[in-house]
Amino acid sequence: MKVQSVLEFAEQARAGNIGIEENTHKILDKVFAANGMNFFNVISKDLALQQAKELDSRVKQGKASGKLFGLPVSVKDCICVKGIESRAGSRILDGYLPVFDATVVSKAKAEGAIIIGKTSQDEFGFGTFSTNTGIGFNAPKNPFDSERSCGGSSGGSAGLTAFADFAHVSISESTGGSIACPAGFCGVAGFTPTYGLVSRYGLIDYANSLDKIGSMGKTVADSALLLESIAGHDEKDSTSLNEKPSFADEKNFSTKGLKIGIIKDFFGEGINPDVSKIAWNSIKKLEKAGAKIKEISLSLNAKFSVPAYYLIAMAESSTNLAKFCGMRYGAQESLSGSFNEYFSKVRSNNFGEEAKRRILLGTFARMSGFRDAYYLKAMKARTRLINEFRLAFKEFDVLANPTMPVIAPKFSEIEKLSPIEQYAMDLCTVPSNLAGLPHISINSGFSQKMPVGIMLVADYLQEKKLFRAASALEELQ
Amino acid sequence: MTSQIMIGLECHVQLKTNSKLFCPCPTRQETEEPNSACCEICLGMPGSKPVLNKKALDFALKVALAFNCKINEKFFFSRKTYFYPDMSKNFQITQYEIPVGSNGFVELSSGKKIRIRRIHLEEDPAALVHEAGLLSSSHCLVDYNRSGIPLIEIVTEPDLSSPQEAREFLDELTMVLSYLDVFDFENGTLKADCNLSIVGNERVEIKNVTGKRNVEKALESEAKRQSELVKQGNQIARETRGFDEKSLSTKTMRKKETEEDYGYIFEPDLVAFELSKPEIEKTRRGLPELHSEKAKRLVKEFGIAEYDAKVISGSRFAGNLFEEFAKAVSPKIASVFVSRDLVAIAHHEGKELEEISGRINAVQLKELLVFFEKARINEKTLKEAAIAHVAGGKNPVDFVKENNLFKDAAGSEIEKIVSKILSSNSKAVADLKAGNEKSLNFLVGLAMRESKGKAEPREIKKLIEEKTK
């Protein structure tokens, strides 16, 4: 069944052809009924209905405006929504009700979005399958096969987007591939922008130099419309770029002459052959439509980006997680002992296993004596890895590779993977994330009835190119 | 043989900006209400992000330039991670690898140069409040009003060789802060971590000493303690000590074997900052006249005594006050009043002149000085009125009027008094005429007593001399 596009929905809603409160009720019923799929950590029913009422009355007053007017929008749990429990999937943030909206949330609200809830994720984003959940949280299930993972860490966003038979988009977040990976596993469009294009103000940090808020939708156009609505300069985020992109407004573009670089390092060893073949088929379709295809090797990235990424990400996250100590917000324990003993008790009892692992590894990587060999070396490596991409973009408009090396694995298979094996699954998504380059994952086909994602990467601030190429490919599928 | 002492200071100075270092919260407020000047950023709430206060950077740059530092054109911030209840994020945003300024120096009056290792910007932690005193409180409260106030840390090389030199350095520092107008002397705090060692022995750090006087006292006490240990042939333990202001002595806080490890990383929420050469030059040219140049100018321009010029140029406040007074009365009267009378009143309270600036009304005092210059009041009245003004909040002119301290009220009487004294003490008058100076003092004393202190000794002396010629 074809679901109404976001563009069409908002148009109808603004025209008064959709009862917004009625539609919101219907959708809330659906998501409550699907509670067993674990897409949500919190469903913000009261907020959504209150917003819906206000929008209905705006229609009546003839004041309906906004790109996302009346549209149900879900938000990854790590993005703050004022007054709605925001925990980034961690028990240590139990009861944290932000006193402010993240900039992306206020921008979405200003465009008429209705916030329906906080989607499930790996605790603080620390995972590839949304199975590294915080204590007391459940992993979202893949709508194509509930024994399989949605991917991660924005697993709830992707699962819900695939599951929804209604117009909906999700504000998600990627540090090392947390948008592309679940989008690939769930067969939806996941758009990760250039680092700095979207404000991070109100994002509960994983690794600040890598975190990017992006979007998910059923189609490239849906995800692009959301991204465009939440992008733009924000003086509250010092790393925010002074750009207001516009890329979702075009139709009928040609792929003629589009230069696509095929990252051959991500089609061979370590990649499931079926996945590789399906991604190649998509590229062939683009070639037929006039694109110029050429293989390229990003050998430095293939070899070093995963270790460099994990060192930087863990070093930064180990400092970000220091603030959680049961003093000002979130989980508390009975007061006893010195502050050190109390902080340790709160942290020991309320962080999940992967969070503790990353705190330990990240702290180790930045201690004097190891700092030069790990943290600083990884920072230097990052510069060289970026340069490898810069060279590639002198020749190509976009680069392509399969989003993930496998189809969404079963929960029973994931249990058997060691942390290192799990980290290695990020091989294809980490390089563009470490470099802060915009990328999109869209569905490329199916293997064993499960979606296979293909990922396109463009140069900094070339979201428009990415949108065109991905839209064209979507048409050809 | 006296042992050679090495002292290095790490001074923390709160900057006088309107808002905090990384958020718009005010640094000062009307009420003392705890936790009333904070937001999600200085509380370190999840999702909040810092944005640098450009004014604080400008202030730090000025201090670094005034201390002859090399300015780093590109610098960034770092996270210094440690767990403590006064830390809103359990990491402090500070500068590590590249500070705003480095390799500067300060010249003491002896001509000795004290090298400045670095000057950097960082955020102040929250204040811990132990309601029943540090030792007996069962709990402690946290006030985040202080959290995020901008600090500069000024680190010297261990070039100071006595507590007195350390004090002189701090005096220089506060003079510079005063001239640059970057420090709130009334409400701001200046703290120092003081490192002291006797050459050939381990170094001891005295943490967190507040104020210049305490720094000097803490160092004096620590120098004495270490010297005695060394004299007795004992080892000095590497440790961190605290200063007890009551007993004026230092006490062990913790023994430390190694340097603490703060696991510094770059602050990824802030971008690298760049200062262009022209920007730095513009700030350098915009620096105000500093105290040593000012003292020279005051002597040259106003012809006042070098001592007074030095005291007056010791703070921007005193300098401005003097120049204001000098518009109405002679530079000599103005300079003596500021550098001796007002300074003495401040010192009497254990304060520097700048610290009582809020209680000084220059317009009212100027009026008082005019009376003095026109000889309508005497020196004693001038001082009393000044004290009543500063300590009692009284308009000094009202004070003179209400207590009827004008000399002229007694003006014509003085001559009568002098005539009366001279006629009834003919022996003393004869002695005086014979050249006995003691008789003059005797007669002046008698006349002063008769006038009940309203007359001016100089004036009486003059009258007596005229009448006995």
Tens digits of per-residue pLDDT, B16-40?
999 999 999 999 877 779 999 999 9
Across the range B36-65, mean pLDDT stands at 96
Let me know if residue B236 belongs to a domain: no
> Percent of chain B having pLDDT more than 90?
65
* Set of chain B residues whose Cβ sits within 8 Å of the Cβ of A367: 261, 263
Q: Which of B38, B48, B53, B91 to mutate to test the interface with A (most CBs of A within 10 A)?
A: B48
- The answer to which of A57-71, A160-174, A325-339, B277-291 has the lowest mean pLDDT is B277-291
By the 10 Å C-beta count (0-12 exposed, 13-18 middle, 19+ buried), A377 is classed as middle
B263 and B129, same structural domain?
yes
Domain CATH code at residue B449? 1.10.10.410
Tens digits of per-residue pLDDT, B166-189?
999 999 999 899 989 999 988 889
Global pTM reads: 0.87
Tens digits of per-residue pLDDT, B314-331?
888 899 999 999 999 999
The answer to whether A329 contacts B263, with C-beta atoms less than 8 Å apart, is no
Let me know if residue B232 belongs to a domain: no
B118 and B10, same structural domain?
yes
| Averaged pLDDT score across all residues of chain A | 96
Across the range B112-126, mean pLDDT stands at 97
Tens digits of per-residue pLDDT, A75-116?
999 999 999 999 999 999 999 999 999 999 999 999 999 999
Across the range A188-196, mean pLDDT stands at 98
What single-letter amino acid sits at B158? P
B34 and B133, same structural domain?
yes
Confirm or reject contact between A233 and chain B (CB < 8 A): no
Q: CA A327, A330, A336, A340 torsion: positive or negative?
A: negative
The answer to whether B40 contacts A205, with C-beta atoms less than 8 Å apart, is no
Predicted local distance difference test score (pLDDT) of residue A320: 98
Let me know if residue B313 belongs to a domain: yes
The answer to whether A235 contacts B49, with C-beta atoms less than 8 Å apart, is no
Tens digits of per-residue pLDDT, A250-261?
666 678 899 999
B348 and B263, same structural domain?
no
ipTM: 0.95
Across the range A135-139, mean pLDDT stands at 97
Predicted local distance difference test score (pLDDT) of residue B31: 72
Predicted local distance difference test score (pLDDT) of residue A33: 97
B119 and B80, same structural domain?
yes
Please determine, for residue B258, whether its predicted confidence score (pLDDT) is greater than 90. no
Tens digits of per-residue pLDDT, A244-283?
888 877 666 678 899 999 999 999 888 999 999 999 999 9
Please determine, for residue A420, whether its predicted confidence score (pLDDT) is greater than 60. yes
Active-site annotation of A, residues: 76, 153, 178
B453 and B339, same structural domain?
no
- Give me the residue from A86, A204, A319 closest to B91, CB to CB: A319
Across the range A435-447, mean pLDDT stands at 98
Structural domain ending residue among the three candidates B279, B313, B336? B279
B12 and B155, same structural domain?
yes
> Which residues, numbered 90 to 109 in chain B, qualify as contacts with chain A under a Cβ-Cβ cut-off of 8 Å?
90-91
- Which residues fall within 8 angstroms of residue B123, CB to CB, at 6 or more apart? B20, B21, B22, B92, B93, B94, B147, B148, B149, B150, B151
Domain range for A149: 1-477
Let me know if residue B384 belongs to a domain: yes
Cis peptide before A254, with omega less than 30 degrees from 0? Answer: no
What single-letter amino acid sits at A434? L
Residue A377's region, left for phi above 0, alpha for psi from -120 to 50, else beta, is alpha
Confirm or reject contact between A447 and chain B (CB < 8 A): no
B28 and B140, same structural domain?
yes
Q: Pick the residue with more confidence: A212 or B441?
A: A212
Shortest distance, CA B269 to any CA of chain A (angstroms): 6
Please determine, for residue A360, whether its predicted confidence score (pLDDT) is greater than 60. yes
Shortest distance, CA A456 to any CA of chain B (angstroms): 27
Across the range A371-392, mean pLDDT stands at 97
Domain range for B425: 409-467
Across the range A145-157, mean pLDDT stands at 98
The answer to whether A201 contacts B47, with C-beta atoms less than 8 Å apart, is yes
Domain count, chain A: 1
Q: In Å, how far are A395, B174, B358 from B184, measured between CA atoms? A: 58, 11, 11
Q: Pick the residue with more confidence: A405 or B410?
A: A405
- Among candidates B278, B279, B238, which has minimal Cα distance to B257? B238
> Percent of chain B having pLDDT more than 70?
97
> Which residues, numbered 428 to 457 in chain B, qualify as contacts with chain A under a Cβ-Cβ cut-off of 8 Å?
none
Let me know if residue B228 belongs to a domain: no
Let me know if residue B252 belongs to a domain: no
B459 and B427, same structural domain?
yes
The answer to whether A322 contacts B81, with C-beta atoms less than 8 Å apart, is yes
Residue of chain A minimizing CA distance to B89: A323
Let me know if residue B205 belongs to a domain: no
Let me know if residue B224 belongs to a domain: no
Domain CATH code at residue A467? 3.90.1300.10
Confirm or reject contact between A4 and chain B (CB < 8 A): no
Q: How confident is the model at residue B411 (pLDDT cuts 50, 70, 90)?
A: low
Confirm or reject contact between A242 and chain B (CB < 8 A): no
- Give me the residue from B44, B45, B264 closest to A366, CB to CB: B264
The answer to whether B270 contacts A238, with C-beta atoms less than 8 Å apart, is yes
Confirm or reject contact between B46 and chain A (CB < 8 A): yes
CA B203 to chain CA mean position, Å: 28
The answer to whether B46 contacts A204, with C-beta atoms less than 8 Å apart, is yes
B152 and B16, same structural domain?
yes
B176 and B150, same structural domain?
yes
- Among candidates A160, A152, A211, which has minimal Cα distance to A182? A152
Q: How confident is the model at residue B294 (pLDDT cuts 50, 70, 90)?
A: confident
Q: Tally C-beta pairs within 8 A across A and B.
A: 104
Please determine, for residue B152, whether its predicted confidence score (pLDDT) is greater than 60. yes
Domain count, chain B: 3
The answer to whether A80 contacts B46, with C-beta atoms less than 8 Å apart, is yes
Q: How confident is the model at residue B1 (pLDDT cuts 50, 70, 90)?
A: very low
Predicted local distance difference test score (pLDDT) of residue A398: 97
* Set of chain B residues whose Cβ sits within 8 Å of the Cβ of A316: 265, 268
B318 and B459, same structural domain?
no
The answer to whether A328 contacts B90, with C-beta atoms less than 8 Å apart, is no
Across the range A48-57, mean pLDDT stands at 98
Predicted local distance difference test score (pLDDT) of residue B410: 55
CA distance A187 to A143: 10
Confirm or reject contact between A96 and chain B (CB < 8 A): yes
Predicted local distance difference test score (pLDDT) of residue B255: 78
The answer to whether B46 contacts A205, with C-beta atoms less than 8 Å apart, is yes
Tens digits of per-residue pLDDT, B185-220?
888 899 999 999 999 999 999 999 999 999 999 999
- Give me the residue from B43, B46, B83 closest to A325, CB to CB: B83
